[in-house]
Structure 1
């Protein structure tokens, strides 16, 4: 097993995916830079400006044009077949990514900190015994024969017999995961002189050295069969370090706390989403702040006192002044609402979103509404209950008090520190 030693003096952060997969790595990179560490972030060029704006040295891997084309492709967000399209459309070729990482790695003097989708980081670890730590952002990544992550359709299979759960995971690999992942991955492995593998999502994607879960145990308790090298660190909601746009600031100051609506990257028909949002707000007499978040001009509204459409607002800076958040269920957005202590309605589509929504509902801090049930009446009823129920408010405030992003980042930085990491090895 590769060990982190006192000689380690460079940290290369490697991630892939959308904003929710990259922002936590930017936040960690900023914290490491503040500690005087030599840090580089390797990710798609789409995120270069955001990283450099926070002082994190950035190395592009793939073009921003390719990223924008991928996230606008509806196949990427297919509830059942999205993984194949994610591999084909959004992730870099594993061998090309391996070569890019090797340009940044100083053997025996570098630690890789990698997202589970950064296959190249694990290849570098295997091929050259480079120290590597996996950073897992949401609990749905971890398979279990106990608590099964809630998947497409909000199906909770945790009550199944354990042998059936094991069979379910094998079938998932055979039918969906391996056909999407292993052709490109094993092509790279053969080129590097490594043996082909099967079922990489079962254990291989996690570094055997150390795996960090960026969420607390009260959100998703560790299961007996989760990786033994896993340590849960807590949430570290991203900080934007950008000002609140003037129209948003004026809207927040002009009346009661609004409900925020943020559909996420994967919602193709944002006009329908916002129309549902406005009708629900009218039914319960609430103001609404509608964030397009897609560089798309939001539809105009004539109710300027009750509604504001804006292309962007930093959630970490505004949510504490808002009443609730309606969103897609990405783990980063979920954590922002938790940190602000406000209830949330989650409209999950795919990937980790259904499981995050289930965790929110289990904790009694919000509710989920599946897309087919996302109507003005259903949304209005859900919001009205959440905004008038004192128990929901108490639960949200109690959990918000436990979230300390600075402490979480300090914990992670300490684990990456030369002497402390060496002691853990």
Structure 2
């Protein structure tokens, strides 16, 4: 079959789909991958046909916008970017489709969902984190002060979430989405996130049941696969200086991920926290860091190192709360401190903390709060026991990718046998 994969977002959104794509390719299928042009080197190295969306410069500009990383402005900012590329992406995907096509799309792959409606092309939508599921039974965790109390009855939660969706989410997204739908001859939609966004064919949760059990108000066609733990480790070599640094003793790794933070404040606090707990550190960031930070030999700064290469020799990980980073730390059995900023990070951090694998520190994190959290996770036997427990429970990333690939293949067989919507017909 011909699988068109659409992954919209940062590396944390794209990497799981690259892992699944590599597995599908190994199983003999043709892969076309649509993502930001920023991922061209990675996608082309995998041997996929690549449909670049926008330019690298445009991607960098979006990711550098502070509004994308503020809880109050993150969704409107993100939607502005998605809406601006909606037509371009739709045309790219439409032109790539043939009569053997099955699509796999991420949370924001709206164009794939539109093609499914317009042409009946089989579609699997996949959520990299539980945050992507709109649920009153188990509401996602948001920034402090914005969460529904646990004692609120289910019916009230459902009513409140419905009001939020109509008054905010649909109001932000529906005008531009429905304008394009009208151009395509499709009727207007509402309840975009809770109902429309999920493919009626199949929905995947790219995480295990113990991280987030399936809820009764999730789509009935949902299947959980486990974490696809792809992180470019097969394409990156560890440099000798970093390897020597890791061999000397286990450092604490700090990374804000793709999140744009006040790097001076963030890493100044990190340096002071490391001094207080008498630990060395590795800073993974594309943002500028004062060269004096690494001058004393206690800290190394690197732009990017695959987590699966560095975490096995790390004492702890301080990160932004991205689901991929959280999963890789769990797979390595490394204690975590999450400093969430926006999007699904608050929910991922809360789940990690509930499982006992670390702590949350809400930004802006001070040196004192980071040092206190580090002292707890590095010296608490309960945290160590939880880390060991979930490391043993996490299946390999390959097995999760295999599970996802099998679901895509199952949909293709169903479409071939005529039990799915009509197939796309090449003109």
- Counterpart among 271, 279, 282 of residue 278 in structure 1: 271
State the TM-score, normalizing by the size of structure 1: 0.93
- Give the equivalent residue in structure 2 for 1:81: 73
Task: Return the match for 1:245 from 236, 239, 243.
Answer: 239
List gaps (5 residues or longer) in structure 1. 1-8
CA distance 1:70–1:185, change in 2 (3 Å): same
Report the CA distance between 1:419 and its aligned residue. 8.4
1:268 and 2:261 are equivalent in the alignment? yes
Q: Match for residue 192 of structure 2? A: 200
Taking the aligned partners of 1:276 and 1:345, their CA distance within structure 2 comes to 14
1:124-178 Cα shifts (integer Å, max 9, x gaps)? 0001110000011000111222211001227542432222212221222233211
**Residue 418 to residue 198, structure 1, CA distance change in 2 (3 Å):** closer
1:143: which partner in 2? 134
**Counterpart among 265, 280, 283 of residue 287 in structure 1:** 280
Question: Residues 327-380 of structure 1: CA distance to partner in whole angstroms, max 9, x if unpaired?
Answer: 0001111111111110100000111000001001100101101104x1111111
Q: Greater RCO between the two (CA within 8 Å, min separation 6)?
A: 2
1:51-71 deviations in Å (ceiling 9; x for gaps): 112333311121111111111
The match for 1:341 is 333
Counterpart residue number, 2:384: 393
Equivalent residue, structure 2, for 1:6: none
Residues 388/155 of structure 1: CA separation in 2 closer, same or farther (3 Å cut): farther
- 2:220 corresponds to 1:224: no
Q: Decide whether the 8 Å contact of 2:231 with 2:308 is kept in 1.
A: yes
* Alpha-carbon distance between aligned partners in 2 of 1:176 and 1:24, rounded to the nearest angstrom: 29
User: Partners of 1:102 and 1:130 in 2: how far apart?
Assistant: 10
Aligned to 1:68, the other structure's residue is in SS state helix
Deviation at residue 217 of structure 1 after TM alignment: 1.0
SS of 1:47's equivalent in the other structure is helix
Give the 3-state SS of the residue equivalent to 2:393 in structure 1.
coil
Q: 1:92 to 1:213 in 2, by over 3 A?
A: farther
1:259 maps to 252
Task: Map 1:296-375; keep pairs closer than 5 Å.
Answer: 296=288, 299-301=291-293, 304-372=296-364, 374-375=365-366
The superposition leaves residues 301-326 of structure 1 with CA deviations (integer Å, 9 ceiling, x where unpaired) of 25533211222211111101101100
Q: Is the 8 A contact 1:11 1:39 kept in 2?
A: yes
2:264/2:289 contact within 8 Å kept: no
Change (3 A) 1:43 1:92: farther
Contact 1:252 1:258 in 2 (8 A): yes
> Cα deviations across residues 179-216 of structure 1 (Å, max 9, x unaligned)?
22112211110000000111200111110110000001
**Alignment root-mean-square deviation, CA:** 1.8
Matched residue SS, 2:292:
coil
Aligned position for 1:127: 118
- Alpha-carbon offset, residue 287 of structure 1: 1.0
Distance 1:81 1:159, change over 3 A: farther
Please list the CA deviations of residues 40-87 of structure 1 after superposition, one character each: whole Å capped at 9, or x if unmatched: 101111111111123333111211111111111111112112111111
Change (3 A) 1:83 1:285: same
Q: 1:167 aligns with which of 124, 144, 159?
A: 159
CA contact (8 A) 2:129 2:205 kept: yes
In the superposition, relative to structure 1, how do residues 419 and 195 fare at CA in structure 2: closer, same or farther (>3 Å)?
closer
Which residue does 2:10 correspond to in 1?
A: 18
TM-score normalised to the size of structure 2?
0.92
Shift of 1:89: 2.9
